[in-house]
Structure 1
Amino acid sequence: MIKVAKFGGSSVADSNQFKKIKNIISSDEKRHIVVVSAGGKRFKDDNKITDLLYLCHAHIKYKVNYDWIMATIESRYREIKNSLNLSIDLDKEFDEIKKLMKSNIPEDFLVSRGEYLTAKLMADYLGYSFIDAKDIIHFQYDGKVNMKKTKEAIITAIDKCPKAVIPGFYGSLPNGDIKLFSRGGSDITGSIVANCVDAELYENWTDVSGILMADPNIIKNPKQIEILTYNELRELSYMGADVLHTDAVYPVKIANIPINIRNTNCPENNGTLIVNEGSELLEENKKNIITGIAGRKDFTSISFYKDGISNEIGAIKRVLEIFEKYGLNVEQVPTGVDTFSVVVSTKSLNGKAFELLTDIKNYCNIENIKFNDGISFISIVGRNMAKTPGISGKIFGAVGDMGINIKTISQSPDEINIIIGVDNNNFKKTIETIYNKFIA
């Protein structure tokens, strides 16, 4: 069986990080395929290679001198080559890039060189083959990946080169032009490759030891999640837990391939394992009722009051159609007998509130409308909550005991997620209360 190991920008930032990766790869003979990002920050005020390449293209576009940016980029790669005594001809690589930069180089091509050169260096260092992502990741002109063509190309390439390094973040269009994924897209490359080779495991190596049960900016030293389901990950990610590129989940989820989030700087930590519902591994981990807590601030609740509105067929539908007209994503729709509310992000309402209100009054015959700003949503996620009678009451009781007023309540049909709305000024206090009561 094969493991696909993807290493993020911080993991390939310099020669010392390369050494850590080699130790990781050498420690498990199943790690046949390596996917890499471009070099990330080496220290707090450093620059990511990708950001420098975007900046370089902007300088080219506006005819501003970019020599100092290219010199900075080159020095990063030369440090790795020279420190590790690699054989790659960087002079040739940079000469070709600079030549193209003088003739309207496409932005996607220039930016992709970050991953391209990192993968070239890594393949040289590991003694693996280099497979260019443009030859195996095939986009359609609409920006979607042609999975059938991509799978055929990946299987053919891996058959020829069983141990390989692949640059993440890009592929090619039908005409051969380089096409980038959205930022963070190296996660997607790794996921697609894992799907196509039917990997045993997709390892995502970064600078954190897995997923934490709460935001470390709110909870000091929160516990690490050992295992969670893809559904739980989706719920946490939607409410702000920034872990993986959202599009990186689907290719491995449908193939029933687990993802393991690991720390390049702490490889002895087993990290967090993400699996499908029904996995036998879940049976071994039932100690926590709550898997994780995440939240987002700054929502607005718009409440509509009208006698008997619950019996008025199509009333809510007509209001929601106007929200759709203004491109507003609806988060919740709490209802009552004579009232219902629509909750949206406050930022999305910017510049639209007056016209929205006017349209609703004119087309929906609702006059009594109130806005309530400054709402935060906190999501309590856990697959074991469904099997724990009274958990909702205990959560509400704990929050109430701290003098926090709950403004909205929502629970998913599968009972793995409870979302409560509180005032923004109670956001941190609510998360601390729930964490200390049910996790700490």
Structure 2
Amino acid sequence: MSETQVVDQGTEAYDVEAVRKDFPILERTVGDHPLTYLDSANTSQKPQVVIDAVADFYAHHNANVARAMHMLGAEATGAYEGARKKIAGFIGAADASEVIYTKNASEALNLAANTLGASLRPGDEVVISVMEHHSNIVPWQLVCQRTGATLRWFDVTADGRLDLEKATREGLVNERTKVVSVTRQSNVLGTINPVEVLAGMAHAVGAVLVVDASQSVPQMATDVQAWGADMVAFTGHKMLGPTGLGILWGRYALLEQLPPFLGGGEMIEVVRMEGSTYAPPPHRFEAGTMPIAQAVMLGAAIDYLEGIGMERIAAHEQQITAYALEQLAGVKGLKVLGPTEPVDRGGAISFELEGVHPHDVMTLLDSRGVAVRGGHHCARPLHDRFGVQSSTRASAYLYTTQHEIDVLVEALDYTRDFFTRPRTSSRTRRKAN
């Protein structure tokens, strides 16, 4: 198939080569090899227009928001709150006041866990899944340890799907459940979870549904209201935006009932020595100087994504994922973790290469210009569930080409041969000489 790929009947062709020209880093080389960047589930690369947006802010509009009553302060505040409106529209929020800025998705999930956890008591239960990123495990562990609540979790099937049948049979979500917190898309398996179904399960027993959407928001159209979720966390740096910025969306009726997470400037109404009153959401949860330039940068990233169209980006990812799964199936000794069919799965593909440690795979691939990730990908319990210590992960995005998948496969064949071919000992070589 041509690298100019038709993503859907009735839409214009998706010209991946034209998209790639917007990303200066993709012109890099690694030694004599062109960079083949297949680590976008870890962090995405940035188009020039997004890089320019942050430079322009610092060069021409830099000031603190809300506090500075001068021209620059008004410009900075307008850009900061304007980005909030863009984010709200991008994810289908009812209003921009439902969008909270944090420093990353981990902080967003900690905010959710600690504010929702304020009402947990012994006997209450929190339900997560074994496929969660550590950011959606550890905060709930800490809250349960502090409150006496019990942490329980969904298992996964052998092919990496959420085991809803087992959960229903065992009554995992029940009248004691207060919070269900799950990933929309696994950062290891690529599995896309049915959050609408999970919302129904949670709400049927009066529980709140929290969704970690860090992997899915960059890749496909998002409608948090249609999901039926109560809170959704994601991060800027995986969707062409900056590091240092995360987002927590929450239903306003829920947010206004929750206590502050951090104390400081701008999250208050009135402060007296005897006590304080707090601002309404979202500012109640935004203490101190926030990541202002990063918010502007994320707004520019959303403009770029919407300019291409999330439906076209998702279709491109599906094509690349299908092609990658097909080509990887031909690599001798390679086993994919999770779904091997491009159905209800994203572009993160984790795998084992028989006889070769993932760190060795990653290192040798890097020597040939191929950037992947090796390790447990901040999902140790999931690797334990599949009985593997770690894995190698290749992940695509809107700028990934089929040629790059071919380069990956060729590099994996080289890696397998390098580590499995017979070795001649130094003693044998000396005798031969």
TM-score scaled to structure 1, two decimals? 0.27
Larger radius of gyration: 1
Q: What's the TM-score, normalizing by structure 2?
A: 0.27
